[in-house]
Amino acid sequence: MKAIEVASGVIAFIRPDEGANAGLIRTDEGIVVVDTTSCGADMRALLDAVDVSPAEVCLAINTHLHSDHTWGNQVFDCPILAHRLCRETMEANLEGPWKLADIRISIDERATSDPQWAAEMRKKVEGLEITLPTETFEDRRDLQSGERRIEVIHFGGHTPGSSVVWLPGEKVLFSGDLLFVERYPFIGDADIPDLMSALKRLSQFGAHVIVPGHGPLCGEHEIRALLAYLQGTWERTIDHLALGDTADEAAVDSSYPRYAEGAAERYHERNIRTMFEKLVGGETCPL
């Protein structure tokens, strides 16, 4: 993990592998945290790395509902802000895919066949108390503290309740999972046309630095690269459907655009299949 000061008093926590990034913004009122990682232990480790205690945090913001951005919420006693749809879906998940008793059963069931996944999940759910946002907004929430202005703006796209955090004074943008850099985007909960429109809107901020949801710091070039990948993959999948092809036939088409290399390659095919399902109206997994 790297803690990078991207502007005075603004820190980006850039995390390796598949861990979600997070952020910290110092204000006169206290510290504002952007996203809370996938568990309390990881969130505390980020704060420790910059000598901040949870008691100094006056607000936590969830850019969207996914567990790798919200399951560290329990560390904070302060208000937690998110879009209304983010909170509503988290609340619904508590009675569905986020039922901890069911998650523990599935960890035990997969412990032999996939010990690495089981070990990671055990760490994630140990002591976990899924904590919902306490405050919601509709279109945007503007926060002003001294010279510091923080704008939390609803975007949708990656999930219906996805938001970005924009610091107009410093021109720093926390994009949440609207942006994945050097990794294939997770699009299971995405509305693909909405996501493509959201990326076009993102490039209008004129950000000096963008903290993506996953991967290294980036700029507008990476927005264009992700947009090109999504557009190319979406259009190619529409072509396959028009030809009457199956998802299996589409998945082996080598003319699809590539977006990332190495270990991330395994998500290339997953995204083709996800887009195929979305186009034919199939269901996707909410986790």
Give the footprint of Zn ion on this chain (CB under 5 A).
66, 177
Closest distance between Zn ion and the C-beta of residue 146, in Å? 32
Helix (H), strand (E) counts: the chain: 9, 12
Which stretches does DSSP call E strand in 20-103?
22-27, 30-34, 57-61, 80-83
Q: What is the CB neighbour count within 10 angstroms for residue 246?
A: 10
Whichever of 62 and 237 has its CB closer to Zn ion, that residue is: 62
Half-sphere exposure for 31 (CA within 13 Å, toward CB)? 19
Closest CB 194 distance from Zn ion, rounded Å: 14
Residue among 31 and 85 whose Cβ is closer to Zn ion: 85
Q: Which two tokens stand for residue 280?
A: 């034919």
Nearer to Zn ion, 52 or 82 (CB): 82
The set of residues, in sequence order, having a beta carbon less than 8 Å from that of 188 and lying 6+ positions away, is 274, 284, 285, 286
Please report how close the Cβ of residue 158 comes to Zn ion at its closest, in angstroms: 6
Smallest separation, CB 242 to Zn ion (Å): 30
Return d(Cα 100, Cα 103) in angstroms, integer: 5
CB 15 to Zn ion: min, Å: 14
Q: Which is nearer to Zn ion, 68 or 170 (CB)?
A: 68
The CA-based diameter of the chain, rounded to the nearest angstrom, is 60
Nearer to Zn ion, 66 or 154 (CB): 66
Asked if residue 128 lies in contact with residue 100, where contact means CB atoms within 8 angstroms, the answer is yes
